């Protein structure tokens, strides 16, 4: 019997995904929960486990293709009769309870999950491929037919040609991404890594051995995945919310001194205390006095929604583009808890493991342009949020202290806000409060 696995619903309003790479090939033996395919949604890249055990009968979607949720993507045979045109509809993946979206509890109380980047459980056992042979539908012993819905496999299936009937090239996701950017077909690249794995150098060498391209050439990359979603969100935000940006330069020398003091204490000895941690704490404290920056303009209901807690987004640059994972209820966390949450969030984002559910539902965002040595900028609001703070580079500069010129540690802040929600006076007060907390952390005791 042959069963079809359909692209599962990733939740959070995502309706499609791109098939990045298959981790199995026709003829491979797979086990339940074994990783079989890597996909990319508008939020993140994830790996999907197989809900069935058996032999890969057919790959129904070619890598690089974007398909809608519910589309059959792979057919797996359990080793019994193998009809060539009729398949059983796939149930929800093993890690996804029936009827539940990813990240939500199902009827049995289990939480549905997709699998992020990580070690794969076991290696794929390969055997020679053979064409599927038409055979009658399997009937259990005793002559009782199994009750199941049968569907026809779509005609537009991916059937490799003879030249393509080879094993799936072994390459890690970053190497596949590099190959797509350089326009390299991995099928034609010989891998020099362990077990024939294709490396970055293999991909680059394949381009250097290709015929030279005339000066003034160009390279085209499809707009999809995280980049496509980010572009759409930024255009929507830029032309739907009236932006105002204000700037403030702050002497943060006292903040740096406090950080050095805290590092000598037991509670903070193993904690990474970056300027971003202090900025996050300052934002949460300042939002108490100016709740308008932690609100949402509901155009459909003609209401302003004020949030009780700060769902703090931290903009992070990743190999797949800009993502903004959230620290939930950041205003309820202590400084050490905030530092731990921030370290975990950034490490997860950079490794590409951030689940889609962690990148929605934000109420305020911080973008740390200072890590790139940039002084300041004019950040664009995340759609649905009232304000975003850009934290510039923390560096030494000449500064006037008590009428005398001195070398101090300074930082520039830039606050963009939705003028429908936040008036100039409110935005200015909030930015001044954040600056005061960074310039003199002792001010926090007054909040």
* Torsion over CA: 414, 420, 424, 427 (sign): negative
Which ranges in the chain are annotated with CATH 4.10.320.10? 172-222
Q: What is the pLDDT of residue 212?
A: 57
Q: What residue has token string 């819905």?
A: 149
Pairing mode, strands 72-77 and 54-59: antiparallel
Residues of each domain in the chain carrying CATH 2.40.50.100: 2-168
**Tell me, what DSSP letter sits at residue 238?**
H
Between CA 259 and CA 409 the distance in angstroms is 13
Q: The tokens 């929600």 sit on which residue?
A: 421
For 51, the enclosing helix (H) or strand (E) is none
Q: Which residue has the tokens 């300041």?
A: 376
b (16+ CB within 10 A) / e for 176-208: bbbbbeeebebeebebeeeeeebbeebbeebee
Whether domain 2-168 has CATH 2.40.50.100: yes
- pLDDT single digits (tens) 17-69: 889 899 999 999 999 999 999 888 876 778 899 999 999 999 999 998 889 98
Architecture per CATH, domain 226-446, reads as 2-Layer Sandwich (3.30)
Task: Report which of 189, 164, 161 is spatially closest to residue 175, judged by C-alpha positions.
Answer: 189
The number of residues in the chain equals 447
From first to last of its 447 residues, the chain has per-residue pLDDT tens of 899 999 987 655 678 888 989 999 999 999 999 999 988 887 677 889 999 999 999 999 999 888 998 999 999 998 665 444 344 344 444 344 444 444 444 454 444 444 333 333 333 333 344 444 444 444 344 433 333 333 344 444 444 444 444 455 777 767 877 787 777 888 788 888 887 889 888 888 876 655 554 456 788 877 777 778 888 888 888 888 999 999 999 999 999 999 999 999 999 999 999 999 999 999 999 999 999 999 999 999 999 999 999 999 999 988 777 889 999 999 999 999 999 999 999 999 888 788 888 888 999 999 999 999 999 999 999 999 999 999 999 999 999 999 999 999 999 999 999 999 999 999 999 999 999 999 999 999 888
Q: Three-state DSSP class for 142?
A: coil
For the entire predicted model, the pTM comes to 0.60
Give the integer Cα–Cα distance in Å for 387 and 427. Answer: 9
Structure token digits, residue 71 = 């589309």
Q: How far apart are CA 275 and CA 392, in angstroms?
A: 10
Cα 174 from chain centroid (whole Å): 14
Question: What class is the 172-222 domain?
Answer: few secondary structures
Nearest to 401 by CA among 254, 217, 263, 281: 254
Q: Are 5 and 74 in contact (CB under 8 A)?
A: yes
- 243, 296, 309, 419: the catalytic one is 419
419 is catalytic: yes
At 91 the pLDDT is 41
The Cα diameter of the chain in Å comes to: 98
The answer for residues whose C-beta is within 8 angstroms of residue 201's C-beta and 6 or more apart is 192
Residues 6 or more apart whose Cβ sits within 8 Å of residue 118: 47, 353
Interhelix angle 275-289/253-262, rounded to 10 degrees, is: 110
- Predicted local distance difference test score (pLDDT) of residue 149: 36
* Helix, strand, coil tally for the chain in percent (to 5): 25, 25, 50
**φ/ψ of residue 192, rounded to 5:** -105, -5
CA–CA distance, 46 with 353 (Å, rounded to integer): 7
Kindly report, as residue ranges, where domains of CATH 3.30.559.10 are found in the chain. 226-446
Contact 179, 171 (CB under 8 A): yes
CA distance from start to end of the chain: 67
Tokens 């079989």 correspond to: 36
* Nearest Cα to Cα of residue 252 among 443, 73, 108, 57: 443
Segment 32-39 long-range contacts (CB within 8 Å, at least 24 positions apart):
32/94, 33/94, 33/95, 33/121, 34/120, 34/121, 34/122, 34/124, 35/115, 35/120, 35/121, 36/5, 36/74, 37/73, 37/74, 38/173, 39/7
Question: What is residue 353's predicted lDDT score, i.e. its pLDDT?
Answer: 82
Q: What is the pLDDT at residue 336?
A: 96
Would you state the structure tokens that stand for residue 337, as one six-digit string? 């808890």
Cα 414 to Cα 402: distance, rounded to the nearest angstrom: 26
């Amino acid at each position: 019997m042959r069963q079809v696995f359909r692209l599962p619903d990733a939740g959070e309003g995502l309706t499609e995904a791109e098939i990045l790479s298959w981790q199995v090939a026709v003829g491979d033996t797979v086990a339940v929960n074994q990783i079989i395919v890597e996909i990319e949604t508008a939020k993140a890249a994830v790996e999907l486990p197989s809900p069935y055990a058996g032999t890969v009968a057919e790959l129904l979607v070619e890598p690089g293709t974007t398909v809608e949720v519910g589309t059959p993507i792979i057919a797996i045979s359990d080793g019994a009769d193998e009809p060539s045109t009729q398949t059983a509809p796939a149930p929800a993946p093993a890690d996804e309870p029936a009827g539940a979206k990813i990240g939500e509890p199902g009827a049995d109380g289990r939480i549905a999950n997709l699998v992020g980047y990580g070690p794969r459980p076991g290696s794929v056992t390969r055997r020679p491929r053979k064409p599927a042979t038409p055979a009658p539908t399997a009937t259990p012993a005793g002559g009782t037919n199994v009750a199941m819905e049968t569907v026809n496999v779509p005609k537009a299936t991916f059937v490799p040609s003879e030249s393509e009937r080879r094993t799936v090239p072994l390459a890690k996701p970053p190497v596949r991404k590099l190959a797509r950017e350089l326009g390299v077909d991995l099928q034609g690249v010989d891998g020099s890594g362990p077990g024939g794995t294709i490396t970055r150098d293999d991909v680059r060498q394949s381009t250097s051995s290709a015929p030279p391209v005339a000066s003034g050439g160009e390279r085209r990359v499809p707009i999809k995945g995280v980049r496509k979603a980010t572009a759409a969100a930024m255009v929507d935000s830029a032309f739907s919310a009236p932006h105002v940006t204000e700037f403030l330069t702050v002497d943060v020398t006292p903040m740096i001194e406090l950080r050095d003091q805290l590092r000598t204490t037991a509670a903070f000895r193993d904690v990474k205390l970056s300027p971003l941690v202090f900025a996050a704490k300052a934002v949460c404290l300042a939002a108490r006095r100016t709740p308008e920056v932690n609100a949402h303009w509901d155009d459909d209901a003609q209401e302003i929604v004020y949030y009780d807690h700060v769902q703090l987004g931290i903009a992070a640059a990743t190999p797949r583009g800009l993502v903004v994972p959230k620290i939930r209820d950041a205003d309820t966390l202590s400084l050490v808890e905030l530092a731990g949450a921030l370290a975990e969030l950034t490490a997860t984002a950079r490794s590409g493991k951030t689940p889609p559910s962690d990148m929605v539902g934000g109420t305020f965002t911080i973008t740390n342009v200072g890590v790139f040595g940039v002084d300041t900028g004019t950040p664009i609001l995340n759609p649905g949020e009232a304000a975003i703070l850009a934290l510039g580079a923390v560096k030494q500069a000449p500064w006037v202290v008590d009428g005398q010129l001195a070398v101090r540690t300074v930082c520039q802040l830039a606050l963009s806000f939705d003028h429908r929600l936040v008036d100039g006076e409110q935005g200015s007060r909030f930015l001044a409060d954040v600056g005061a907390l960074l310039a003199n952390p002792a001010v926090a005791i007054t909040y």
